[in-house]
Every structure is written in structure tokens, then in C-alpha cells.
Amino acid sequence: MKNENAPSAHQPQLWATDVAAAAARCQAAYPQAAQAAVRRADEICGNTFLFREHWEMEQTSNPVHFDETVDWSHIPAGDPEWLYALNRHTIFLNLGKAWRYTGDPQYPHHFARLMQSWLAQVPLTTASKQDTWRSLEVGIRCGNWLRTLRLFENSPALTPALKAGMENSLLQHGEYLMEAYTDFHRLSNWGILQDHGLFLLGIYFNRAGWQQTALARMAENLHRAVMQDGTHWEQSPLYHCEVVHCAADTLWVARQNGVAVPPALEDATHRMLTALAKWLMPNGHILCQSDSDDVDARDLLAFGAFLFRDGYLRFAAGDGYYEENVWDIGPALLDAENPVQPTPPLCPSTLLPDSDNYMLRSDFSPQATFAHIHCGCLGGGHGHADLLHLDVQYGGENVLVDSGRYTYVGTPLRHRLKEPAAHNTLQLDDEPFGRAADSWAYAAVATPLKAEYAFTSTADYTSGAHLGYLHRGVVVQRKVVFVKPDILVLFDVLYGKGTHTATQYFHFGSGTLALQGNTAHWQGNTVAASVTVLQTAGLAVTQQPYSKHYNSLTQGPVLCVTTPVTGPAALITVLSLGGACRVTPLPVTATQGGEPLPGDKAQAVQLEKNGQKTVVVACHGESAPQVNLLHVGGYCGHGKVLVFTPQQPNGTCLAW
């Protein structure tokens, strides 16, 4: 039965206009991606489902097989995320791409079989709105179905009856999305993902009301949800990417169809892309910060460079385009484009000050030293209690890692991965400063304090603090000095009184970790690192779980440093990347008095590596009111954080 609601004269432009040319380009330029799509399509034809798409929000590791009819409401292992992934219908994209790559008629045949099964078995009901018809899945499904219709154009399997059935269902999707809108959707990532689907339906069915409603909602959502520095408020790089993809895709489809969009939507999307470029590790992957996976995000930056003609995004994306860009833009437009010239920023290190994310880099190469420090807001249910957490990448390897998310099922492991001990931070008296109540809520949350920072050619500096132990009479601050190119000095300062036990956690990437005195030596696949502890402490190495992808868990070495302290106190830890570093504590004296200052007032270390000597000084209190210079290791200077070298004997001041 023909769908009378879809005007036959309307010819919407959606993504690559020539899907055959896009398939040919992807097969030639990205053969591994094409082969993976065909492999997954073969599994789907056999009723076996494994969700491993590049931007799959919750990937799966264990295949699920149905002997005959697919149960669209199946929940394996008690995790409803599997049901949600199944009903987002990336499976149809796999089948469509496989048909375009191979011409094999089995793929359209099984597409028709599965689509007819879904249309017959999964009605919209009050109950299904909680699972197969959650508004989030509905929004995502709209985009996947519309792409699937393009991929199976001219296939005999896409009969007029099947297409009409899909279009009638899509109209129902649209009516539902117009109504499924609450205050939750005005801020959550859900709002953007589902209104993106509503906008696409508005274009497909030529419904201006749906288009304008979706655009207005998206502009309002991003006005509230995106900080001025471009960070999405949920503080999860993965969901940041999902939101910015939908926003950028909306801009592109609107441009293709001559639809004006609110300037605020353009601006927020551009800021989010710029923030993503800053947030990425040197290998182009996002951090496993909060609820995130380890995913290469450069395709989004390349898409943003194309949309906004932005040289910085082009630089951050690396050379060329990516498979997703070919399907979105099409080879003809990519070939005809006047290339955007890459524009590197002046300084490798950068910051997102509103979200309190600091990225310290030695240079712009993929092998660069990279350190990320977070001391910002929690970010809601997707946020983790990770204040003062430190990630490190060096030589293309992850040295210090975030433990990731693994699952959304409310198990003790889910809680554990969200709490401080699963991060490279500090905990007092075995009490987490952030404590999970369930999979999404917290029983305790610490208040962060904004950081200082300085970026120079010799060294970078940042700091952060929080009030998570204020009830114990202690404020915790972490100061990080990055001595370029490959040494990080941590000063963990406890402002307060009383006797406590401080535990520092250092979660390493894949490799081995061995203790030698007060130094832990880590060996990765190709690079090495060492952590040296200057205070009298107990060092222990354990194996703890961490997750780079949803539903995937591995074990990695963790260094736990336990130190009894009587406040005020300060702990010094030195991370040397690559070769060995000799670390020597030095006394700090002041012109007034001439006596060594106590460790809770000022500390200094001398670093000797590769024939270079560097002295780092940190003061932990306000300077005395008199004219006063600090003296250490034959150098003198003024400031709260100083770095001296033989080449710069007057020192570099990083904090005043």
C-alpha cells in the first residue's frame, strides 16, 4: 500500500548522493572497514549479532545467536543495553554496505526478512516505550533506516510494500518524537540524538514543522548543555562525540536541502568540535574519561573541517578523510573540495577551562608525551569520581590509564570503576571522595576547585583541588609540573591537620610493573616508564580490571602508594617516561632566615636525565610579606612554582 503522506515530487538530499561511488571509494581506500562490514553482515544473515560499529555506544564482545525468529526484546546477561543496540538497527547498515560492496543478493534478502520481522513484532505500546521504543532508540533508528533505504535503492528486496511499511512506521516514529519531550530531553544527550532523528524525518517527508521543531530544540539543548569552552556538560568524551556527530550531521543535511539553521546551533557545534580536537590524545583517540570507550575520533574532526572550513580541525584530524566521511559527504564533493590548509596552534598544550580539563603535550607528533588532568564538575550519571585524575600517553602507548566503564548494569564492579580508586588520583583514610549509590546516582560527590595553569617552552604547569575531605579537616590539591619532553612531577598537598593515611593510585596500561626500592618500573609493548616516590611510603603492585570498550574487560598493573601523613603535608612523585631519571630531594631556603623551609611550605627536587639537570620548586603557602627570594641547589628565584636549568639559571616561574 503506497504511503500517501510522502509526496512523490519531494526529492530530499541525504548524505552521499551516489552510494555506489561511495562504496567503491571505501572499498578501495578503506578495505579493512569494508571487509569488517561484510563479515558482520554474514553473521547477521545467520541470525548472529555482535555490535562492533565504530561509533556503537555500547559495543558487545560475545555474539548472540537466534535459531529462527529474532527476539527483538531479548536481554542477554541481564544487560538491557544489548536490547537497545539491537533495536537501533545498525545491523541494516551492515547489510546495506555489504550489498553495495559485493552485490550478493543474500544481503537484501535478509534485510527484508529482518525488517519485516521487526515491523510485525515490535509495535509502539506503553510498555515498549521502556525498551524497544525508548525515544533514544527511536531517534537513532530514524537515521539508520533512512540510510538503509538509500543503500537498498533499486534492490528487488525493497518492494513497494516493504518501503511503504517502513515509511508508515517512520511517520509513527516522527509523531512519537514530537511528543517525547520533557525537561530531561532539554539537557541530556538524549534530546540531541532523538531530535536529530526528528529533523531527518522532517527532511525526508518534507514536513517543515518537524524540521523547525527539531532545530529549535537542538539549539536550546546545546545552549544549556555546551560550556563556553565547547565541552558537553556530561564530561564524557564518548557522549560528547555522539552529540556533536548528530549536530554536525544536522547542519550538513540542512545545508544539502537549503534549510536555514539557528546560528546558536552552528556556533555550539563548532565549539564542540574545537573542544574535541583539544581533548584527543596524540593517536587521535578519545580518553576513557567518565563513561567512554577508546575510539578514534578523527573522522568527526575531518567532517567538522569540511563543514566549517576550519584549519585547526583539519590539522587535528590528520591527513585525508575517513570512511564515515565518504558515506556522509560523497567522493565527488570530497574530490572537488578546495582543501582546507592545516593550521596548527602555537602551543602544543591546551585547556578546556570551563570543564577543567588540561592537556599537556611535548609536541604535535603521534609519539608525543601527553598528560591529561581533570578536576572539573562530575557530569551527571555518566560522570566518574575522578578529580585530580592523570592520564599519560607516550610514544603512542597508554602509560597511565582510566579504568573505563565496562557496563551500565548496577553491579559492584560498575560502582568500583566509577569511584576514585579506579583512577590515578589520591584517597584519604580508605574513604572515596565520590561514592556511587547505584549505576547512575552518587551517595557522595566532592566539590572541585578550579585550577591554575601555565604553558612555556621549558615546562608546563597545572593544578586542581577539591573539598571531598573537608569533613576530615583536609583540602587536597594536586600540582603537576611537566618538564619537557618526558618528566612529570606531582606534588600532592594536604592542607589541614590530623593524622591520616594517603593512598595514591597509578593504573598502568598493558605491560609489566616491578618494584625496586621506592621506584616502580613499567615496561609496555615498546616504551618504558618509572614512578619514583620521595616520601617514606609503602608501595604495592596489584592487578586490577580496566575496560577500553563497553563489555570488554582486561587486567592491568596498578601501583598503590600508601603514606601515613600528619597535616599539613605534601607528597612528591616523579613519573619519568622513556629512560631512567635520577631524582634527588633538595632543601629550600629563603633569604629571610636562611633556614630550610618545612616540607609543607616548600619542596624541591633535582632531576637528572640524559645529561640534563633540572630543579623544580613548589611552594605550598603564601609568600612571606618581606622581600624574600627562594634558594635551592645554587639557584634563587621568586614565585610559587619554579623550574631552573643550567640554560635558564634565573628560572621559569609557572605560578605566582
Q: Is the pLDDT of residue 161 over 70?
A: yes
Compute CA distances 426 → 495, 573, 611, whole Å: 14, 12, 32
pLDDT digits (tens, 9 = 90+) for 320-376: 899 999 999 999 999 988 888 999 999 999 999 999 999 999 999 999 999 999 999
Q: Is the pLDDT of residue 20 over 50?
A: yes
Distance CA 552, CA 61 (A): 6
Q: DSSP labels for 591-650?
A: TTT-SBPPTTTEEEEEEEETTEEEEEEEE-SPPPSS---EEETTEEE-SSEEEEETTEEE
Distance CA 149, CA 145 (A): 6
Q: Please compute the mean of the pLDDT values over residues 204-215 and round it to a whole number.
A: 98
Q: Please compute the mean of the pLDDT values over residues 170-174 and round it to a whole number.
A: 98
- Domain 19-336 homologous superfamily, CATH: Chondroitin AC/alginate lyase (1.50.10.100)
The sign of the dihedral angle between the CA atoms of 537, 543, 548, 551 is negative
Distance CA 391, CA 402 (A): 7
Q: Is the pLDDT of residue 2 over 50?
A: no
pLDDT digits (tens, 9 = 90+) for 399-408: 999 999 999 9
Place 6 in a pLDDT band, splitting at 50, 70 and 90. Answer: very low
Place 78 in a pLDDT band, splitting at 50, 70 and 90. Answer: very high
Place 624 in a pLDDT band, splitting at 50, 70 and 90. Answer: low
Q: Please compute the mean of the pLDDT values over residues 470-487 and round it to a whole number.
A: 97
Compute CA distances 381 → 223, 227, 438, 440, 493, whole Å: 20, 18, 10, 4, 29
Distance CA 237, CA 629 (A): 43
Let me know the angle formed at the C-alpha of 628 by 491 and 592, rounded to the nearest 5 degrees: 100
First CA to last CA distance, the chain:
75
102, 109 Cβ separation under 8 angstroms:
no
Q: Please compute the mean of the pLDDT values over residues 452-478 and round it to a whole number.
A: 97
Whole-number pLDDT of residue 626: 63
Whole-number pLDDT of residue 579: 84
Q: Is the pLDDT of residue 10 over 80?
A: no
Q: DSSP labels for 100-169?
A: HHH--THHHHHHHHHHHHHHHH----TTGGGTTT-HHHHHHHHHHHHHHHHHTTT-TTS-HHHHHHHHHH
pTM: 0.95
Q: Where are the domains of the chain?
A: 19-336, 354-580, 581-656
pLDDT digits (tens, 9 = 90+) for 105-126: 999 999 999 999 999 999 999 9
User: For a pLDDT cut of 70, what percent of the chain falls above it?
Assistant: 98
Q: Which CATH number fits domain 354-580: 3.20.20.80, 1.10.357.10, 2.70.98.70, 3.40.50.1950?
A: 2.70.98.70
645, 458 Cβ separation under 8 angstroms:
yes
> Using N-to-C axis directions, what is the helix angle for 135-151 and 160-179, rounded to 10°?
150
Distance CA 637, CA 102 (A): 70
Whole-number pLDDT of residue 292: 97
DSSP label at residue 59: -
Coil vs helix vs strand at 423: coil
Whole-number pLDDT of residue 628: 79
List, as own/partner pairs, every contact residues 645-650 make where C-beta atoms lie below 8 angstroms and the sequence separation is at least 24, other chains included: 645/458, 645/612, 645/613, 645/614, 645/615, 646/613, 648/458
Whole-number pLDDT of residue 580: 86
More confident of the two residues 597 and 244? 244
Place 1 in a pLDDT band, splitting at 50, 70 and 90. Answer: very low
Distance CA 112, CA 151 (A): 13
